[in-house]
């Protein structure tokens, strides 16, 4: 608790050192109607702080030091603009901004992997940011569902409750999910039946980095990074009381969601509170039948506080997350299991700006997380296995003084300590302790039309196992060390103000997980017996991305091709063995391991060299006033070079078309998702047929006085098609959800 004692002292000092400083204020209007706009986000890029406009279009940010600031104004349905303002000045206290309507999502500045807050076209890798409208339209039951069908992003699932993003064919422990820049601290990366410990209801923003992204985030990010950005620790001060009430209902599983966000600001202090409840029954497939034991029931709360003195920001938050969900199975199966998941987390953050020394600014993020889940029998209530994970992590980074007027640089240090505990007769692995420490740097240079960035990260990973008994077998204690050096080099050449080409080369590493090193038990959720491998080496991925980005007032084009050479790829290899704990009628002893296909398939973690390559593209074009057409496609192949076999669980070629009519006050459109058959499968993996899914949606935004009402209606799988997704862990016995009607309503005050 020392971390939070320190944060309390910082807050106390801040209270006593706040001095009235300069003010930035003004109004924002619609450029054509000359009407004030309520809810416009006003963001100071230099300080990473901001506010929103009130019913009169007025905004105000206090306590600013004398300086020149880049101020960004962004609003749903309008083109984002950035203005340089000198504080203090006469203009700074009476800025008049006129925003122009646009149907093209020009994407706001990315935060994830972008400490210099560069524009998206100046990044040397694929970066995706969901707009406010897309978050409304794509709202679903999980993070994976909300991100599915974005360029290069698909979904791994074990029913509705466990959707997790897959990036360019990389899944689980090869894709890192963050919350506000720190690791989630759960076990969703270890198995298809483990859900993400974040409800995904109403995030502030979701950002995705595709390709090897381990430079700033470390091991487990060789496929990419998903960062769920929340307002748990408020980054801005909203004067007075404001917030959102959100409710949502879905017919495919009779699901309902209620969510309340409240914010209160006074002076330089900001308070945040959140509570939500989500509950759903077994989901229905297209023939009217339900997928047995696919229900979910989750709830949680959050409270955060921050203070914004003249030197920056500091704050902390507490989050409580609970989720109970079934593991889908066939009716009548002997094992009917549900997972009872709980997580509490404490987070601390601080930003110190304008230091004007060897470093210009400093950022600190730290967290303490306590995660637990039990796998419980629905038949007799017994706990088969209990997993516990305690995580302590911290990241501190410094923007140093530039080497020259065209350079920017960052150095950072990271530490993570995890204590992993598995209890029960069906324990899959022994207990383990993980220590991870890293140092990294990133430098960027601007040479007119050419931007150059390079960096490196040195990381130490240590895993300790005690002596343990698994499936009646004794395993000796042991220790594994994996030290890695990752590096990247990126080039961006601006052909003109709208278009740039980029190339990014990265070398990234991933240390084996506890499950990969030490499993030796039945894995009920995957219907397998998993065997770990203590001799596994670290994975090494050398990746190359080449792409083009072009953003105009009425179009957006992004095309990327990639090639990854993966040395020592870790994968689950099926053996010519089966395992059963049934009693042999002849011997009176358990069957155990056998070769005559009695029981569960045995898998062992193995390694091989592999190549993963593909492309992704997006075209967003305004075809008529307020009408846009979007075309998205992606394709990935993955081959085991040792055996010349396909890698398993790779998504097929996909193509998406969307036609949308959108204004700031209403929107409607349709989507047509086309998915090809997947016949490039691994040994013992079944192919899946192609399919097409039609979707419809429509919504409106109403302003009544100082309040806003947002209503959205969405129809998914309109034709009620029966289909199987290749990345579904339960496709052997059931289908994906049938037709769904979802209605949500948001009240903003």
Give the model confidence (pLDDT) of 385-426 as tens digits: 889 999 999 999 999 988 888 889 999 999 999 999 988 766
Q: What pLDDT is attached to residue 534?
A: 87
Q: What pLDDT is attached to residue 515?
A: 86
- Percentage with pLDDT > 90 across the chain: 49
Secondary structure (3-state) at 605: strand
> SS3 for 475-513, per residue?
ECCEEEEEEEEEEEEEEEEECCCCEEEEEEEEEEEECCC
Q: Please answer whether residues 303 and 273 qualify as being in contact, where contact means their C-beta atoms are separated by less than 8 angstroms.
A: yes
What is Dmax (Cα atoms) for the chain? 94
User: CA 162, 165, 167 angle in degrees (round to 5)?
Assistant: 155
Q: Please answer whether residues 671 and 678 qualify as being in contact, where contact means their C-beta atoms are separated by less than 8 angstroms.
A: no
Q: Is the pLDDT of residue 685 over 90?
A: no
Question: What pLDDT band is residue 279 in, cutting at 50, 70 and 90?
Answer: very high
**What backbone torsions phi and psi does residue 307 show, to the nearest 5 degrees?**
-130, 145
- Closest of 497, 185, 480, 180 to residue 317, by C-alpha: 180
Q: Which of 99-113, 227-241, 490-504, 571-585 is least confident?
A: 99-113
Q: How far apart are CA 5 and CA 3, in angstroms?
A: 6
**What backbone torsions phi and psi does residue 607 show, to the nearest 5 degrees?**
-135, 150
Q: Please answer whether residues 650 and 638 qualify as being in contact, where contact means their C-beta atoms are separated by less than 8 angstroms.
A: yes
Q: How far apart are CA 418 and CA 602, in angstroms?
A: 29
Bigger pLDDT: 266 vs 695 = 695
Token digits of residue 697: 């949606």
Exposed/middle/buried for 362, CB within 10 Å: 0-12, 13-18, 19+?
middle
Q: Does an H or E element contain 7, and which?
A: helix 2-17
Describe the chain by its helix, strand, coil percentages, rounded to 5. 5, 60, 35
Tens digits of residue pLDDT in 490-501: 999 999 988 999
Token digits of residue 632: 């998205």
Residue with tokens 């406009």: 53
Q: Which of 309-313, 409-413, 459-463 is least confident?
A: 309-313
Q: How far apart are CA 347 and CA 178, in angstroms?
A: 13
Exposed/middle/buried for 151, CB within 10 Å: 0-12, 13-18, 19+?
buried
| Total-model pTM | 0.88
Give the count of beta carbons closer than 10 Å to the beta carbon of residue 332: 7
Instruction: Give per-residue burial for 57-68: e unless 16+ CB within 10 Å, then b.
Output: bebebbbbeeee
Q: How far apart are CA 323 and CA 198, in angstroms?
A: 9
Q: Which of 206-215, 235-244, 301-310, 545-554 is least confident?
A: 235-244
Q: How far apart are CA 537 and CA 553, in angstroms?
A: 49
Token digits of residue 743: 């209605």
Q: Is the pLDDT of residue 678 over 90?
A: yes
Q: Please answer whether residues 307 and 237 qualify as being in contact, where contact means their C-beta atoms are separated by less than 8 angstroms.
A: no
- Percentage with pLDDT > 70 across the chain: 95
Q: How far apart are CA 416 and CA 432, in angstroms?
A: 14
Q: How far apart are CA 123 and CA 209, in angstroms?
A: 10
Question: What pLDDT band is residue 51 in, cutting at 50, 70 and 90?
Answer: confident
Instruction: Give per-residue burial for 86-98: e unless 16+ CB within 10 Å, then b.
Output: ebeeeebeebebe
Tens digits of residue pLDDT in 218-251: 878 888 999 998 889 988 777 678 889 999 999 9
**pLDDT average, residue stretch 145-159:** 93
**pLDDT average, residue stretch 592-606:** 86
Number of DSSP helices (H) and strands (E) in the chain, helices first: 5, 42
Give the count of beta carbons closer than 10 Å to the beta carbon of residue 403: 11
Q: What pLDDT is attached to residue 214?
A: 75
Question: What pLDDT band is residue 141 in, cutting at 50, 70 and 90?
Answer: confident
Q: Does an H or E element contain 569, and which?
A: strand 555-583
Instruction: Give per-residue burial for 638-666: e unless 16+ CB within 10 Å, then b.
Output: bbbeeeebbbbbbbbbbbbebebebebee
Instruction: Give per-residue burial for 187-209: e unless 16+ CB within 10 Å, then b.
Output: bbbbbbbbbbbbbbbbbebbbbb
Q: How far apart are CA 451 and CA 454, in angstroms?
A: 10
Q: What pLDDT is attached to residue 48?
A: 59
In sequence order, the β-bridge partners of residue 710 are 701, 746
Q: Please answer whether residues 634 and 151 qualify as being in contact, where contact means their C-beta atoms are separated by less than 8 angstroms.
A: yes
Q: Please answer whether residues 607 and 570 qualify as being in contact, where contact means their C-beta atoms are separated by less than 8 angstroms.
A: yes
- List of domains in the chain: 2-99 (2.60.40.1120), 120-748 (2.40.170.20)
Query: What is the distance between the terminal CA atoms of the chain, rounded to a whole angstrom?
Result: 36
Q: What's the mean per-residue pLDDT of the chain?
A: 88
Q: What pLDDT is attached to residue 18?
A: 40
Ordered DSSP codes for 72-137: EEE-TTB--EEEEEEESSTGGGSEEEEE-B-SS---PPP-TT-TT---GGG-SS-EEE--HHHHHH
Q: How far apart are CA 203 and CA 426, in angstroms?
A: 36
Q: Please answer whether residues 653 and 633 qualify as being in contact, where contact means their C-beta atoms are separated by less than 8 angstroms.
A: yes
Q: Is the pLDDT of residue 9 over 70?
A: no
Token digits of residue 337: 């299991």
DSSP state of 194: P
- Closest of 731, 714, 574, 718 to residue 652, by C-alpha: 731
Secondary structure (3-state) at 429: coil
Give the count of beta carbons closer than 10 Å to the beta carbon of residue 12: 11
Q: What pLDDT is attached to residue 148?
A: 94
Q: Does an H or E element contain 217, and which?
A: helix 214-217
Residue with tokens 């959102």: 244
Bigger pLDDT: 104 vs 731 = 731
Ordered DSSP codes for 263-320: EEEETTEEEEEEEEEEEE-PPB-TTS-B-TT--EEEEEEEEEEEE--TTEEEEEEEEE
Q: Which of 249-253, 471-475, 687-691 is least confident?
A: 471-475
**Residue 466 C-alpha from the chain's centroid:** 33
Q: What pLDDT is attached to residue 487?
A: 93
Exposed/middle/buried for 150, CB within 10 Å: 0-12, 13-18, 19+?
buried
Question: What pLDDT band is residue 6 in, cutting at 50, 70 and 90?
Answer: very low
Q: How far apart are CA 164 and CA 211, in angstroms?
A: 17
> SS3 for 689-720, per residue?
CCEEEEEEEEEEEEEECCEEEEEEEEEECCCC
Q: Where are the beta strands (DSSP E) in 584-739?
A: 590-594, 600-624, 627-640, 645-646, 654-662, 666-675, 691-704, 707-716
- Closest of 428, 402, 446, 608 to residue 530, by C-alpha: 428
Q: Strand 407-423 to strand 432-447: parallel, antiparallel, or no bridges (unpaired)?
A: antiparallel
């Amino acid at each position: 608790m020392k971390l939070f004692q320190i944060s309390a002292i910082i807050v106390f000092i801040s209270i006593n050192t706040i001095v009235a400083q300069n003010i930035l204020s003004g109004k924002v209007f619609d450029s054509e109607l000359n009407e004030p706009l309520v809810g416009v986000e006003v963001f100071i890029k230099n300080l990473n702080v901001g506010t929103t406009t009130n019913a009169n279009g007025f905004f105000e940010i206090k306590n600013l030091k004398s300086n020149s600031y880049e101020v960004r104004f962004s609003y749903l349905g309008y083109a984002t603009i950035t203005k340089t303002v000198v504080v203090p000045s006469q203009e700074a206290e009476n800025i008049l901004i006129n925003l122009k309507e646009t149907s093209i999502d020009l994407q706001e500045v990315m935060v994830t992997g972008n400490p210099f807050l560069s524009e998206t076209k100046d990044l040397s890798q694929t970066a995706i940011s969901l707009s406010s409208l897309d978050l409304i339209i794509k709202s679903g039951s999980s993070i994976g569902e909300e991100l599915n069908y974005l360029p290069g992003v698909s979904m791994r699932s074990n029913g509705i409750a466990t959707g997790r993003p897959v990036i360019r064919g990389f899944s689980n422990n090869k894709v890192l999910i963050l919350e506000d820049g720190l690791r989630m601290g759960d076990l969703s990366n270890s198995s298809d039946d483990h859900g993400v410990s974040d409800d995904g209801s109403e995030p502030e923003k979701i950002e995705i980095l595709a390709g090897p992204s381990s430079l700033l985030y470390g091991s487990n990010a060789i496929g990419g990074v998903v960062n769920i950005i929340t307002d748990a620790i408020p980054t801005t001060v909203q004067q007075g009381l404001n917030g959102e009430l959100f409710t949502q209902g879905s017919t495919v599983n009779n699901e309902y969601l209620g969510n309340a966000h409240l914010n209160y600001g006074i002076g330089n202090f900001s308070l945040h509170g959140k509570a939500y409840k989500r509950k759903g029954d077994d989901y229905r497939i297209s023939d009217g039948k339900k997928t047995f034991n696919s229900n979910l029931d989750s709830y949680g709360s959050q409270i955060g506080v921050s203070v914004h003195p003249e030197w920056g920001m500091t704050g902390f938050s507490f989050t409580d997350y609970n989720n109970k969900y079934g593991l889908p199975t066939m009716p009548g199966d002997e094992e009917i299991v549900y997972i009872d998941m709980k997580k509490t987390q404490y987070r601390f953050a601080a930003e110190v700006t304008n230091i004007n020394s060897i470093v210009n600014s400093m950022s600190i993020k730290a967290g303490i997380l306590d995660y637990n889940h039990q796998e419980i029998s629905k038949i007799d209530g017994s706990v088969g296995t209990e997993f516990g994970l305690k995580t302590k992590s911290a990241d501190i980074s410094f923007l140093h003084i530039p080497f020259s007027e065209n350079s920017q640089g960052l150095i950072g240090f990271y530490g993570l300590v995890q204590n992993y505990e598995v209890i029960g007769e069906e324990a899959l692995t022994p207990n383990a302790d993980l220590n991870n420490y890293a140092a990294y740097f990133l430098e960027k240079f601007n040479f007119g039309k050419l931007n150059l960035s390079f960096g490196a990260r040195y990381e130490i990973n240590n895993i300790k196992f005690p002596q343990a008994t698994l499936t009646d077998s004794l395993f000796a204690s042991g220790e594994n060390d994996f030290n890695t050096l990752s590096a990247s080099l990126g080039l961006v050449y601006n052909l003109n103000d709208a278009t740039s080409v980029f190339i990014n080369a990265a070398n990234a590493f991933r240390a084996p997980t506890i499950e990969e090193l030490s499993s030796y038990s039945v894995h009920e959720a995957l219907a397998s017996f998993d065997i770990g491998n203590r001799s596994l080496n670290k994975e090494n991925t050398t990746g190359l991305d080449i792409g083009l980005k072009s953003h105009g007032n009425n179009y957006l084009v992004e095309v990327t091709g990639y090639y990854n050479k993966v040395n020592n790829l870790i994968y689950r290899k099926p053996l010519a063995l089966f395992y059963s704990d049934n009693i042999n009628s002849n011997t009176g002893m358990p069957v155990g391991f056998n070769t005559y296909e009695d029981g569960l398939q045995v898998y062992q973690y193995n390694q091989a060299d592999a190549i993963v390559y593909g492309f992704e593209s997006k075209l967003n074009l305004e075809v008529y006033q307020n009408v846009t057409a979007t075309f998205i496609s992606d394709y990935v192949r993955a081959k085991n070079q040792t055996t010349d076999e396909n890698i398993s669980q790779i998504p097929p070629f996909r193509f998406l078309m969307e036609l949308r009519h959108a204004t700031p006050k209403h929107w409607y459109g349709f989507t047509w998702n086309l998915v090809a058959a997947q016949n490039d499968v691994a040994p013992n993996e079944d192919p899946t047929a192609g399919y097409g899914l039609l979707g419809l949606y429509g919504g409106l935004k109403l302003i009544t006085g100082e309040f806003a009402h947002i209503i959205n209606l969405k129809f998914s799988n309109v034709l009620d098609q029966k289909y199987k997704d290749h990345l579904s862990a339960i496709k052997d016995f059931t289908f994906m959800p049938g037709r769904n009607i979802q209605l949500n309503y948001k009240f903003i005050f």
